[in-house]
Amino acid sequence: MKDDEQIMDTFNSTDRLEALDSVVVRFAGDSGDGMQLTGSQFTTSTALAGNDLSTFPDFPAEIRAPAGTTFGVSAFQINFGSDTVLTAGDDPDVLVAMNPAALKVNLETVREGGMVVIDTGAFSTRNLQKAGFDTNPLETPLLDPYRVLKFDISKLTLESVKDFGLSNKEALRCKNMWTLGLMLWMFSRPRAAVIKWLETKFAKVPNIRDANIAALNAGHAFGDTSELGASFKRYRVDRAQAQPGEYRTVTGSQSLAWGIAAAGQLAELPIMFGSYPITPASPLLHELSRMKEFGVMTFQAEDEIAAICSAIGASFAGSLGVTSSSGPGIALKSEALGLAISTELPLLVVNSQRGGPSTGLPTKTEQSDLYQAVYGRNGDAPLPVIASSTPGDCFEVAIEATRLALKYMTPVMLLTDGYIANAAEPWKLPDMADFPSIAVKQKDRPDEDGPFNAYSRDPETLARPWAVPGTPGLEHRIGGIEKSTETGHISYDPANHQRMSDLRADKINRIAQDIPEQSVAYGTDSGKLAVVGWGSTFGPIDQAVRRARAEGLDVSHIHIRHIHPFPANLGALLARYDRVIVAEMNMGQLITVLRDRFLLDARSVTKVSGQPFKIRELLDVIHEELNTAISKAAE
């Protein structure tokens, strides 16, 4: 494509380029400023430039909060580098603040000496007031610790698009593209992908399309031609070393949806996905709704109870029922989950966790539904719980969860969270040919001997047969009342209830023999200290442990995917470390379960501020723990 040539960045000798290993950029603006789009387009360009990356979209809770207010600030953070990047980064090196509120909310996160890019055009008296600034911060020492780039982006944008006949309001909407153009210049990223994206997105409105492209190019040209001050340097972040293969960027919601569809293909089963919208679980519903060609039926039910019940009904009738929600919705589903456990039907339940209790922090991430997943039902109601740890990981975890649900005839709870759901990372594309098919045994005819017992069991897995309505000779009734182990009919016999409860527990416990042994994510399989995590804390824990080991510290990272049952070797593995830290984004839930199972003496490190762990926070804890270990030993 000839245009690509022109748009690809070329470095000439007059460029002052500073090479960096990694950079954290945070785009922040009003909800209406299009920061999420700007961020995701910057992400695509960064991925195409060959960096490893990780992103963190930080949405406000309000959809359209009053413009200019601090609670309407929307931010998108990206960390990219030439080395492995597993988190969205601790403190931004560069903050783009599109208005005073964005500056107010985000400035304190910027590292000292970092760069702040400001649209002075948005710093009107009114906007300053709305953001709660008494004086204009551009005229106070507030910004002294930072390198500040300020220009009237609003005005420059208006100039760049004046030929396209847009209203003032429409023209100002191109501000984000102008800014993106400048940032792409600053980090030497190509513009081609963004232009292609704009061409498709605005194909039907040519003047908007052309104006946005013009704004993008103008922002880029501004960097190229203007005098940004003698000390100003552009940055270069070299390509990351990555395993050979084909890559794309992916969010957790995407890879989870694709994993569910893939699982359906591997099991050769239609999927019935019943769901009810809730943040941050809705993107999964949206993604799957577009996948009908894979036999994925989506049903937006009237509430979460109907959503899970429809999925249970579908599983009874021979499909794979799947349902998804976030904490409050999972709470509503819990009675029906008990029914699925009692009727022993396959079912996949996804919980995209958010801050709680109650409505809590809908747009902020947390891992506080672990108790709910493991323990949160009436009666003794065990089910497998499995957690994904990164956006890309969701794909495999969805397939694994489906395998367990079908093989053991049980609902399975898959835990993910708001961070994983929305964050993007480069993902090495899997090849479906590498996944074994998932064997499904639907009974198709009665046995020769005696009447059909829907609660007879496979001696190895203890799973009951799946007999689907429509099959002659296998007519049977199931329900939530206790069933006789002998006949499958209703039974109120106390001894039978004991047997059934034992069977339900045994069946799930046996899964421990059918899942991979717990491995060490980084480090050694014994030593002074293990940091144990689960779910989306993978990135910060791994980075912190890598840094600590680089300093020569004896610390390893263990990340648990199978939370119930635990892998068979987990207890023995943990016992091989002198000390164990359990880091999680709740008030200490996994640690309770670990103590319960293994009488483990561990230190709990928790955080529920709605933001992921910072690498530094965990590194500090590791230092502290190993220092005390040293001083204790010295005593």
Partner 1 sequence: MNKPVGHLTAKDFASDQEVRWCPGCGDYAILKCMQRTLPELGATPANTVFVSGIGCSSRFPYYMATYGFHTIHGRAPAVATGVKLANPDLDVWLITGDGDGLSIGGNHLMHTLRRNVDLNILLFNNEIYGLTKGQYSPTSRAGTRSPSTPYGSLDRPLDPAAFALGSGARFVARTIDTAQKHMPEIFKRAHAHKGASFVEIFQNCIVYNDGVFNDFTEKSVLADRTLNVRHGEPMIFGKNRDKGLVFDQKTFKLKVATIGEDGISESDILVHDETNSTLAHLLATLSPPDFPMVIGVIYCAPSSSYERDMTAQMEAVKAEHGAPDINAYLRRGYTWTVE
Question: 301-330: which residues touch partner 1 (CB under 8 A)?
Answer: 301-303, 305-307, 309-319, 321
Q: Does 470 bind partner 1 (CB under 8 A)?
A: yes
With binding defined as CB under 8 A, does residue 432 bind partner 1?
yes
- What gap in Å lies between CA 312 and CA 310, rounded to an integer? 5
Instruction: Report yes or no: 294 and 261 within 8 Å, Cβ to Cβ.
Output: yes
State the minimum distance, in angstroms, from the CB of residue 206 to partner 1: 23
Nearest-approach distance from CB 334 to partner 1, in angstroms:
11
Among the listed ranges 183-191, 245-253, 415-423, 576-584, the one in contact with partner 1 (CB under 8 A) is 245-253
Residue 181, number of CB atoms within 10 A of its CB: 27
Site string for partner 1, 611-630 (x = CB under 8 A): --------------------
**Within 105-134, which residues bind partner 1 (CB under 8 A)?**
none
Q: Is 295 a residue that touches partner 1 (CB under 8 A)?
A: yes
Tally of CB atoms within 10 A around 584:
26
- C-beta separation of 276 from 451 below 8 A: no
3-state secondary structure of 320: strand
Tell me which of 38, 249, 363, 604 binds partner 1, using CB under 8 A. 249
Q: How far is the CB of 131 from partner 1 (least distance, A)?
A: 36
376 forms part of the interface with partner 1 (CB under 8 A): no
Compute the least distance from the CB of residue 36 to partner 1, in Å: 17
190 is an interface residue for partner 1 by CB under 8 A: no
Say which residues have a Cβ less than 8 Å from residue 369's Cβ, sequence separation at least 6. Answer: 327, 330, 351, 353, 356, 376, 415
Name the one range near partner 1 by CB under 8 A: 104-112, 225-233, 294-302, 377-385: 294-302
Say if residues 45 and 74 touch (Cβ distance below 8 Å). no
**Coil, strand or helix: which one is 612?**
coil
DSSP-derived 3-state class of residue 75:
strand
- Rounded to an integer, what is the distance from CA 188 to the centroid of its chain? 28
Of residues 6 through 65, those in contact with partner 1 by CB under 8 A are 44, 47-48, 50
Give the pair of three-digit tokens for residue 449: 């001997």
Tell me how far apart the alpha carbons of residues 396 and 435 are, in angstroms, rounded to a whole number: 9
User: Distance between CA atoms of 113 and 104, rounded to whole angstroms?
Assistant: 17
Q: Is 339 in the site for partner 1 (CB under 8 A)?
A: yes
- The conformation of residue 45, written as its DSSP 8-state character, comes to H
Between 295 and 360, whose beta carbon lies closer to partner 1? 295
In whole angstroms, the minimum distance from the beta carbon of 489 to partner 1 comes to 6
Return the number of the residue (395 or 577) whose C-beta is nearest partner 1: 395
What strand order describes the sheet that includes 577-584? Answer: 555-560, 527-534, 577-584, 603-606
What's the closest the beta carbon of residue 494 comes to partner 1, in angstroms? 19
Q: Work out whether the CA dihedral 427, 432, 437, 442 comes out positive or negative.
A: positive
> Applying CB under 8 A, what is the total number of residues that bind partner 1?
71
Per-residue interface string for the shown chain with partner 1, residues 213-242, x marking contact by CB under 8 A: -----------------------------x
User: Does the protein bind partner 1 through residue 154 (CB under 8 A)?
Assistant: no
- Residue closer to partner 1 by CB (options 164, 273) is 273
Q: Does 430 bind partner 1 (CB under 8 A)?
A: yes
